[in-house]
Amino acid sequence: MTDDPPPRKEPLNQQSIRISTMWSSWQIGANLLWAYTGALAVDLGASGIQQSTVTGVQTLGNASMQWAWGSLTDRFGRRPFLFIGLLAIGMTAALVPFAQNAWQLILLLLVPTIIGSAAIPAWNGLLGDITTMKGRGRFVGLVTAIGTIASAIALVVVGFFAVSIGLTGLAQYQVPMYLACVASIIAVICVLVLKETVRVSKHRVFRIRESVKATPRFVRFLIINIIFFTAMGAAWPLFPIVSRGILNVDLFLIGVFTAIFSISSGIAQIAAGVLSDHFGRKPIIIIARSLIFIAPLCSALGAITGNIWFLVPLNISGGFLTGLFIVSSTAWLLDSAPPIYRGTVVALFNFFTGVAAFCSAMVSGFVLDYLTLQIPYATAVILMLLTIVVLRIFASFGYFAINETLVKVPAPTIPRVPGSDRAP
């Protein structure tokens, strides 16, 4: 059976405005939600394993259904799954302020994030649908940067407002969570006016084996990323412990530091789009992964010295290097996969790397709880962060083994059609 032809799409300059607005609202809602849940868990008295679970829920929730959502969006289109996913994120944000303990917070985050993950492969598939290989990096970088910078501005404004109105305790989390809900609903409305880029296909869903076979060297790329995301995920539950539990950073500064991360990421995404289209995907990926050890190193130095301003270079380096990786790795995956498998391939990548990061975060929580029985709490956190620095350095060498996917002329498997981000 031949592949179903893609439906006729609007010119890029018309569709891209709607896409940029949707993405910006989505990122404002998602970043407001996830910027504060780690701190909320600390305030709710989370243990090490509970803190890891709160962090891991986002990773596992987004990854656990990726393979299914990816296949379904390739089969039935992008819009339905963007709608479902963004609506779930908004409802999650509305419910989070009602959590009274860490386990309630975990349960509130788990189910909605599983449903919310439907939007991720649909979004990546949409980006592949509306771009060609020649300018893909630039377009992906520009659109993602717009949303990242918009979310950064929102984090600073909302964080200041949440502190200035005088709310204390758990009540101070209501402002960012409810505004996250509003932003997500705006994104849902934007989805309703998007043009569908995929015609409903007669192909069967869940063609995982065919997707992998049709994507050259995907397995090697996936294995290398699984190893690296294992080293990445171990640090994620420790970052909010340092900022909120050891350094006692308030919600306004948490918003500022997260905004610094987002702005740095946005700048990097614009640069990565241009650079990856000119020099290739591989060198940008190598740079992004080989230097990301700076983030846990700065966190450890902050915990050692008690100086909260070490969180500034943490978020600058983490944001910039994460932005480089988001754009270059997305372009790598979209370059490699045939159009009918894009959603599935991206979903498989997110699933396996997400599960690896989740398992690593959970192990990190168990290790922290064990170490705190032997040594002081802050010392245990510092020791773990320094160990993760070494692990990230060694794991980054694997990226030298990936292949380059950029072809200077559009690949024949990707037709020319008219028309149109993880913690450090």
Q: How many CB atoms lie within 10 A of CB 373?
A: 7
Task: Give how far Cα 372 sits from Cα of 163, 298, 377, Å.
Answer: 32, 21, 5
Q: How many CB atoms lie within 10 A of CB 208?
A: 17
Could you read off the pLDDT of 354-375 as tens digits, one per residue?
A: 889 889 988 998 999 999 999 9
Q: How confident is the model at residue 239 (pLDDT cuts 50, 70, 90)?
A: very high
pLDDT of residue 303: 95
The more confidently predicted of residues 17 and 91 is 91
Q: How many CB atoms lie within 10 A of CB 11?
A: 11
| DSSP-derived secondary structure letter, 133 | G
User: Are the beta carbons of 247 and 308 closer than 8 angstroms?
Assistant: yes
Q: 3-class DSSP state for residue 47? A: coil
pLDDT of residue 305: 94
Mean pLDDT lowest for which of 144-148, 176-180, 187-191? 144-148
| DSSP-derived secondary structure letter, 195 | P
CA gap 422, 424 in Å, rounded? 6
Q: How confident is the model at residue 70 (pLDDT cuts 50, 70, 90)?
A: confident
pLDDT of residue 21: 87
Q: How confident is the model at residue 412 (pLDDT cuts 50, 70, 90)?
A: very low
Q: How confident is the model at residue 205 (pLDDT cuts 50, 70, 90)?
A: low
Could you read off the pLDDT of 137-172 as tens digits, one per residue?
A: 778 778 877 887 888 888 888 878 877 777 677 778
User: Are the beta carbons of 310 and 301 closer than 8 angstroms?
Assistant: yes
CA gap 265, 145 in Å, rounded? 7
The more confidently predicted of residues 420 and 221 is 221
Could you read off the pLDDT of 320-358 as tens digits, one per residue?
A: 999 999 889 988 988 888 877 777 787 788 888 888 988
Mean pLDDT lowest for which of 224-233, 272-281, 373-382, 390-399? 272-281
pLDDT of residue 338: 81
Q: Among the ranges 80-89, 117-126, 153-162, which has the highest mean pLDDT value?
A: 80-89
- Whether residue 5 is predicted with pLDDT greater than 60 in this model: the reply is no
- pLDDT, average across residues 373-396: 95
The token pair at 177 is: 């969570």
Could you read off the pLDDT of 284-303 as tens digits, one per residue?
A: 999 999 999 999 999 999 99
Helix axes of 79-95 and 174-192: crossing angle, nearest 10 degrees: 160
The more confidently predicted of residues 188 and 406 is 188
- Whether residue 203 is predicted with pLDDT greater than 60 in this model: the reply is no
pLDDT of residue 208: 67
- Whether residue 417 is predicted with pLDDT greater than 50 in this model: the reply is no
Compute the C-alpha angle 107/111/113, nearest 5°.
110
The more confidently predicted of residues 220 and 47 is 220
Distance, first Cα to last Cα, the chain: 43
Q: 3-class DSSP state for residue 124? A: helix
Residue 239: what are its φ and ψ, rounded to 5°? -60, -50
Q: 3-class DSSP state for residue 250? A: coil
Task: Give how far Cα 84 sits from Cα of 185, 287, 351, 411, Å.
Answer: 11, 35, 18, 33
Sign for the pseudo-dihedral over CA of 165, 242, 93, 139: positive
Q: What is the pTM of this model?
A: 0.73
Domains in the chain, ordered, with CATH?
Answer: 13-195+213-401 (1.20.1250.20)
pLDDT of residue 7: 45
